Amino acid sequence: MIHPPETLKEIEQLRLGLVEAQEPPSTHSKPERITQAPLSTLLNVDEIEAAATKVISKRAWGYYFSAADDKISKYLNTQAYRSILFRPRVFVDCRTCELGTNLLGHKVGLPIFVSPTAMARLGHPTGETGIAEGCRSFRALQIIANNSSLPPEEVVANAPPTQIFGWQLYVQLNRKLSESMLARVNRLDQIKFVVLTLDAPVSGKREDDERINIQANATASVSTQLFAGTDPSLTWVDTLQWLSQHTTKPIVLKGIQTHEDAVLAAQYAPFVKGIVLSNHGGRSLDTAPPAVHTLLELRRYCPDVFDKVEVWVDGGIRRGTDAVKALCLGAKAVGIGRPAFWGLAAGGVEGVERTLQSLFSSKIWISIVLLT
């Protein structure tokens, strides 16, 4: 239920035989019982996460909630925004607040994107298509995960032509697999760019995920399974040269965590169109810096990078004010990962919409007007 159909084709040589055809046991509540309270009563991401936690399986919770080691980076991602204060100006006309912007030359309704979040069907049967539908009414950008539960063709199939997608790439040790996926993505016009993920060369030690795996006597945690076959030997010159041979779509590098690497990335413009400052949601290397700290580094040591590539951030966004702070510091867009999944798990498409609504209501975003 949670893996894309082509997974079986990729491991055809390992087939042992047929299993008895039957409906797989559902780990989900009935749609009308997804939440114990109406979605309209959930006012923020914390409440949406709490509602989702009540209805998803332990395995799904362990995969999404978990982060590396002591989860210091995960929690610091959010705490860092709390330590930054606004400097509001007064006597500013706040009757209107235009949230639309252009990302990589494409018009979107919000300076917000949904970061690649793998295995969305762990939380809800609609999976990545549910997230796509939830983004639609806000014209929000969605990056489809390399380890999506559904193939990219299915995720974009019912989206209107104006809806914008990116696609995440984890380079595989078997490069033919990655090249085959890139060929498929190249044929999808609604996928406008490829996001090469660099902040997780190997799976982090995600103890919540591993603990549930041990308790269930499973063969491996979800994280371990997903990272099997990922190539940890990527380098600037070799990998980007290889990638340039297999796609003409713009490239975004996700996982920049120092200003030095941001400078290096900018040297590959215009092939590299953007960078995402990210520590993989604290899921890869614990005590890695939160994205907003890296953003401050760029402002101080290499502000010219903002003129060469688009700078996006993700990780730790729990309030609309968090997103506003990142934008005020120079980010072109802000991403959410877990919050989109919690919304999907709590209420399907409507849950995703509720998550976006709670983060990006006009009452919160009026701060943009006050601070510009």
Q: Where are the domains of the chain?
A: 42-370
pLDDT in tens, 88-128: 888 888 777 788 999 999 999 999 999 999 999 999 999 99
The confidence score (pLDDT) of residue 36 equals 61
Mean per-residue pLDDT of the chain: 90
Whole-model pTM: value is: 0.90
Q: Known binder of ligand: residue 9?
A: no
d(CA 344, CA 346): 6
280: pLDDT strictly greater than 50: yes
Its CATH architecture, for the domain 42-370, is Alpha-Beta Barrel (3.20)
363: pLDDT strictly greater than 60: no
pLDDT in tens, 161-179: 999 999 999 999 999 999 9
pLDDT in tens, 182-209: 999 999 999 999 999 999 888 888 888 8
Q: Is 280 a catalytic residue?
A: yes
pLDDT in tens, 219-266: 777 777 887 889 999 999 999 999 999 999 999 999 999 999 999 999
**Choice among 28, 246, 259, 280 that is catalytic:** 280
The confidence score (pLDDT) of residue 29 equals 43
Q: Known binder of ligand: residue 338?
A: yes
Q: Known binder of ligand: residue 274?
A: no
Q: Known binder of ligand: residue 168?
A: yes
User: What is the pLDDT confidence band of residue 17, given thresholds at 50, 70 and 90?
Assistant: confident
